[in-house]
Structure 1
Amino acid sequence: MNVLFLNDSSLLCQGLASGFSPLDDIRYIPVHQSGWEDRLTTLLKAWKPKFALAEGVSISTVALKLFPLLRRHALPLVYWAIDDPPDWRRMSRPLARGASLVLTPAGECLPLYRREKLRALFFHFACNPSFHHPSEPSLEYTCDLLLVANYYTSYPQRKVGLETILTPLLSGSFHLKVFGNEHWLANTDHYTLGSGIYQGYLPYDQLPYAYSSAKIVLGLHSVIDSPTMMSMRTFEALGCRAFFLTHWSPAIENTFKNHVHLVWSRHPDETIELVRFYLNREDLRHKIARQGQEEVYRNHTYQHRIQAIRQALERL
């Protein structure tokens, strides 16, 4: 099966692409780069993909040019609506109207697409065992607590996670490192980190090394009331055999077992108690991290995800 990716993000290159067969031919034309129209037209004259695939905001600024071009070449678009449900109305719905198939990690959005007469399937994030695996620890990333996440002001529910997981740890005597965008340094919420905590933006190829160097990896989610949607970092951290501490959500509880695959907290005070307890129990951290990795390797790899929808893709 020939597959054209319209972006070269890490989520696609190091993630989703791993779910396809070695016999599948995957090529990339990132539409955020100048000259993409000419390159795409030239490619489609010599090579016929089964479908084109794009995720999230990657096509939002070029949709008015992209959709007619795809129709002209009779090329179906698969749109992975990775920002559902909060951005369903603003972004997912209008972009989905140009797609032949929508993939959503938010199960509650499926009736919304059906109401709009748009074909949609449930398709969650996952891990890629050939990339998301334990790596040699690095002194650069060694710490008690590690958070790899961007700061966003556009997702109000994300603040619940901040106040539950991160805020109570800022005033403690823990060795904490935070990697992400520069909005951690200045934002309209005036949420600031103490000196030495913010470490800059983490290159994606360093993710396994960072996750393998921390005693506890912290997780934040932009959605706290979805039965399925959670941060992709959950699957990636567990794949790297990290001990993962995050805030409770229905999706987390529906997918994983507390104190078996990962650990969740419902309250800032509980977060501090859990951190203090598990920092002193290396044996339990390693046991839970191993069980978490076994769970995602067994049920939540991109090979599992693609296999579940492959027939639908082949019918496009």
Structure 2
Amino acid sequence: MKFLLSIPGHTRTIPMGRFVEKALLALGHEVVVFNHERDNQVERLREKIRFQGFLDYKNRQLLEVVEATKPDVFFTIYGKTHDAATLRELKRRGLLTICWWLNDPFDLAQQYLPLSLYDFFFSNSRGTAPVYRHYHVREPHFLPVGIDPAIHHPMEGTEQQYDIVFAGDHHPIREKVVLELIQHHRVAIIGPWKRKISKNSPLRPHFLRHGYFTPTEMALLFNQARIVLNLHTWYQRWSYGVNPRLFEASGCRAFQLCDTKEEIRDLYVPDEEIILYNDASELPELCTHYLARPEERARIATQAYARTLREHTYQHRMQEMLRVCGLEG
């Protein structure tokens, strides 16, 4: 089977498109990658002068790739840049159309996508399925991300030098929670927060580095952490939907504290493979408890790591996608 994989070029810390390409290749499929980001200075100028014109140009470019490579399946991650006319043309040419949307539940896909034109639609949230059925998605499927074991893995001999690590983008709720937590514990932060927090914020001394980080840099940091703090940006707004850190930290055999989401109980066993909290007010006590118990942390982290390798790699995700779409074998 030949896939035309359309990837979003703007994802910096989670280049899931390349992980997907690698997984499909490993499963024996052909993959043609179309990166919708501007490829050169001329395209950057096009985008700056007229964004819609740039999108039209890139969609024409996509159809040229289809004509040249003759794929069987069009598979887009996010798919924000593909308009209805392009999708209709892909379907006219006989391609199966698949979208994997990963911004739920805080940024719903119907704002951007002609959902009815996708043959299959996958989301990182089970809870948003009723919304998508309302917008004429025949059957939304839950498909979270996973890990690439070549990137997200334990690094033997790495010293756990940080008590608590948080890696991720800024969000006001994250800032509020971490501000409270540093009153009790040492927290190391990495992420593009510099322009979002005040110049005299007490968080500034806790940053290992401001700015975006690579998956490899994140994996090293998780290996150096006694505790990885996971806090969804939709904490206490939606009870469903899971983020990539859930799997990436466990793939590094890191001990993880994560806010509760409905899907997690089907992915990891609470108290055995992950520790969940309902309210951030629980964090100081949880951190005190587990920082004093390295053997317990190691046991839980090791069990999460084993589960992740068994069930939560990108190959597992692509196998599930192929099964749902009837593309196995």
TM-score (norm 2): 0.78
Q: Does 1:83 align with 2:103?
A: yes
Structure 1: give runs of 5+ residues left out of the alignment: 154-158
Change in Cα spacing, 1:16 to 1:191, as seen in structure 2 (3 Å) is: farther
1:300 matched to 2:300? The reply is no
- How far 1:38 moved relative to its partner? 5.9
Deviation at residue 20 of structure 1 after TM alignment: 5.6
Aligned to 2:5: 5
Amino acid in structure 2 at the alignment position of 1:207 = M
Percent of residue pairs identical: 21
Shift of 1:95: 4.0
Structure possessing the higher relative contact order (Cα contacts under 8 Å, 6 or more residues apart): 1
2:29 matches 1:24? yes
What's 1:102 paired with?
121
Q: What RMSD in Å do the two structures reach over aligned CA positions?
A: 3.2
Q: Which moved more, 1:34-43 or 1:95-104?
A: 34-43
Structure 1 window deviating more from structure 2 (211-220 vs 26-35): it is 26-35
Change (3 A) 1:281 1:299: same
1:212-265: CA deviation from partner (whole Å, max 9, x where unpaired): 111111101133465651111101110110111122333334533333112123
3-state SS of 1:79 partner: strand
Q: 1:217 to 1:15 in 2, by over 3 A?
A: farther
1:261 corresponds in structure 2 to 273
Q: Is the 2:151–2:215 contact (alpha carbons within 8 Å) kept by the matching residues of 1?
A: no
CA distance in 2, matches of 1:243, 1:138: 14
- Corresponding position: 1:180 with 2:195: no
Alignment of 1:88-167 (within 5 A): 88=108, 91=111, 94-119=113-138, 120-135=140-155, 142-152=161-171, 159=173, 163-164=176-177, 166-167=178-179
Correspondence for 1:156: none
Q: Count the aligned residue pairs.
A: 302
CA distance in 2, matches of 1:117, 1:250: 24
Matched-pair contact (CA < 8 Å) for 1:243–1:289 = yes
